[in-house]
Structure 1
Amino acid sequence: MRPTRLARFAGGAVALLTLSAGCSMLPAMPAPVPTSVVPTDLPQPSATSSGNLSPDGFDAAQRMAVRIRNIGCGSLSTGSGFALDDHTLVTNRHVVEDSATLELSTYDGRDLAAAAASSANLADLAIVRTDDALPAAPELAPADPAVGDPVTVVGYPLGRALTVTTGQVLGSQTDPLNENLGEVLVTDAPVEHGSSGSAMLDGEGRVVGVVYAKDSEGHSFVVPVSTLRAMLDDEAAFTPLAPCTG
């Protein structure tokens, strides 16, 4: 069986794992962390496609998507997130951990102040509280999507403009990065570095999962909405993150 490389991709902070039974070879070191990202005061081009969303659903998706810049102690990376309510957004744990400062911005270039962040111990999920109000929050779907269902991913690959990509659910498998989590979804919706934390939406614009990784075959891996709901309902599921000090 050919080894599969799986990457968690928050900007330049990329972790690679070789997933192959009995294979002990370590992957190559990731590329150097970038020293700059696209400033938020530059004009942000609009996404060119609404994917599988209706015009209203596309407009709502734009307004709920958030770009995240993690300024760490000697590092800088970017990721994506989406609003859960007026002052809470969802993203990945690896997008916000080891940060000194989190900088948030909306699709129209508006900067938001981050107040605090908490990470999940089980899944690659995190919650960020904001001082400023988020523009809009989507609805969480009541159930996970089925195999073959069309999906749309809305995020900020490479820390640049809001981007919409489409695909379908290919199936599910045991999470290769967090084996205690259980089943995660696999899709063919294209994602890139910086897409970590992007919402995956169904045709009605409801969140059906959170993107957290991709492999060398172009498959994206997604924490399903059922897992997200269960963790949001568990007060002990998230632990406050302290800023890095190094």
Structure 2
Amino acid sequence: MSRRVGAATLVGVLALAGCAALPQPAPPVPGSVVPSSAPAPSASADGSQLSPDGFDAAQRMAVRIRNIGCGALSTGSGFAVDEHTLVTNRHVVADSAELELSTYDGRDVTAEAASTAALADLAVVRTVDALPAAPVLADADPAVGDPVTVVGYPLGRQLTVTDGRVVGAVTDPLNENLGEVLVTDAPVEPGSSGSAALDAEGRVIGVVYAKNADDMSFLVPVSTLRDLLADETAFAPAPACG
């Protein structure tokens, strides 16, 4: 099966944080959109995937992000990569006056600094407070047909877990990333930007950053994420509003 998706699928691509649409931005957090949700991954027979509070590691590492800008509010998602660092999208944290972070259990986490990448729609946020859990990054990008689970906070509301598969790869339709990005049919909504996309073993295989009118979602692949995290020059302080 070809890894490339036809151009017809790229009509109406949306950036998912703050509900920005091309060519004109749509209103933030439209109330008419209902987030898709699916059951959380089930525990193994001995319950080892679940903590005593009933959340598994995939849910514990997800972070809700509220970007309070100059006269505007947008929402997005992110995930921890270590105790004091989370990954999200560049457009989730750009033009902010303040970032408000919260975890799966409703705990507020203080953001210390945000940095954005120039070559991909990625950002890292350093936190003062410790984050609950961090996933493992996959060693390689997934293949067409591989399962995908997206964990995030669509519309800035409840934590959701949605499932799908990798359907192909394509040159980024938003021209935000170098090289190809992944396309999946895992449901996402505005506010899902920055969500981790996981493989069947719970490893990160990409970062959600957009969807199109056919409800296909787009991922920055883990290979790009790994390359940028390993490059000390890849990130610069995020632009603030005003």
Q: Specify the code of the residue in structure 1 equivalent to 2:15.
A: R
Q: 2:39 aligns with which of 31, 44, 49?
A: 49
**1:156 matched to 2:153:** yes
* Alignment-mate amino acid for residue 19 of structure 2: V
In the alignment, the residues of structure 2 paired with residue 169 and residue 7 of structure 1 have an alpha-carbon distance, to the nearest angstrom, of 18
Q: Does 1:5 align with 2:12?
A: yes
Determine the structure 2 residue equivalent to 1:168: 165
Q: Which residue matches 1:145?
A: 142
Letter in 2 for 1:162: L
The verdict on how the C-alpha distance between 1:238 and 1:216 changes in structure 2, with shifts beyond 3 A counting, is: same
Residue in 2 that maps onto 1:33: 28
The equivalent position to 2:216 in structure 1, one of 216, 219, 243, is 219
The C-alpha deviation readout for 1:91-114, integer Å capped at 9, x for no partner, is 000000000000000011000000
Please list the CA deviations of residues 123-160 of structure 1 after superposition, one character each: whole Å capped at 9, or x if unmatched. 00000000000001000001111100011000000000
Contact 1:79 1:157 in 2 (8 A): yes
Q: Tell me, yes or no, if the aligned pair for 1:53 and 1:204 is still in contact at 8 Å.
A: no
**What do you get for the CA RMSD once the two structures are aligned?**
2.1
TM-score (norm 2): 0.86
Counterpart residue identity of residue 40, structure 2: S
Q: Contact 2:29 / 2:190 at 8 angstroms: preserved in 1?
A: no
Tell me, what secondary structure is at the counterpart of 2:226?
Answer: helix
- After superposition, residues 110-129 of structure 1 pair within 5 angstroms as 110-129=107-126
When the two structures are superposed, what TM-score results if normalisation uses the length of structure 1? 0.85
User: Cα distance, 1:242 vs. partner?
Assistant: 4.4
Cα offset for 1:35? Answer: 11
- 1:87 aligned partner, one-letter code: H
Distance in 1, matches of 2:171 and 2:199, equals 22
- SS of equivalent to 1:73: coil
- Structure 2 distance, partners of 1:203, 1:180, is 25
Higher strand share: 1
Matched-pair contact (CA < 8 Å) for 1:195–1:211: yes
1:101 equivalenced with 2:98 (yes/no): yes
1:16 counterpart (21, 44, 64): 21
Partner secondary structure for residue 124 of structure 2: strand
Q: Please tell me whether the aligned partners of residues 82 and 90 of structure 1 are also in contact (alpha carbons under 8 angstroms).
A: yes
Query: Secondary structure of 1:16's match?
Result: coil
Q: 5+ unaligned residues in a row in structure 1: which ranges?
A: 18-26, 37-46
For these two proteins, the number of residue pairs brought into alignment is 223
Deviation at 1:33, TM superposition (A): 3.2
Partners of 1:53 and 1:203 within 8 A in 2:
no
What's the offset of the Cα at 1:67?
Answer: 0.2
Q: How far apart, in 2, do the equivalents of 1:200 and 1:52 lie? A: 17
- Kindly tell me: are residues 75 and 35 of structure 1, through their superposed partners in 2, closer, same or farther at Cα, counting changes over 3 Å? farther
Please give the residue correspondences for 1:170-189 in structure 2 after superposition, counting only pairs within 5 Å. 170-178=167-175, 181-189=178-186
> Could you tell me which amino acid in structure 1 is paired with residue 20 of structure 2?
A
Residue 78 of structure 2 is aligned with which of 73, 78, 81?
Answer: 81
Query: Which has the higher mean CA deviation after the structures are superposed, 208-217 or 55-64?
Result: 55-64
